[in-house]
Amino acid sequence: MEMKKGDVWGFGREFFLMDEDGEKLRSFRGFLEHGGLSGRAYKKSRAGLVSQEKFRLISEPCEDFLPFGAGAKIYCEGCSYELISSFQVYAGKALSHRESVLRRWERDG
């Protein structure tokens, strides 16, 4: 059986892009990969502990998080993430997918 373009995204996890008030703006599918294997999950700062855990999100090329900017919140399966960066990946001249770097985000209280 031949796979059609876009079929692979149906196997991805469901993610939600959230607004500042915690309301779901839209859903999309993608794949999440743990990025930091250094073993250091948190860094001390004057304000307290800052999460160092980073993740790579691979999503469809049409998913554009840039209008929401760095700091946008993304939710998946009980975990919240903060967008650090997002960019398009090409295979030759064709747009293949979008890769984003996320940091685990924990709400206060």
- C-alpha 52/C-alpha 104 separation (Å) is 8
- Residue-level length of the chain: 109
- C-alpha 104/C-alpha 109 separation (Å) is 16
The predicted model gives 38-45 an average pLDDT of 62
Structure tokens at 101: 């770097």
pTM of the model: 0.72
> Minimal CA–CA distance to 32: which of 5, 71, 59, 69?
59
- Supply the pLDDT for residue 41: 60
The predicted model gives 35-45 an average pLDDT of 62
pLDDT of residue 16 exceeding 70 = yes
- At the top level of CATH, the class of 11-105 is mainly beta
Q: What are phi and psi of 14, to 5 degrees?
A: -90, 125
- 71-82 confidence digits (pLDDT tens): 889 999 989 999
- C-alpha 41/C-alpha 52 separation (Å) is 5
Mean pLDDT of the chain: 79
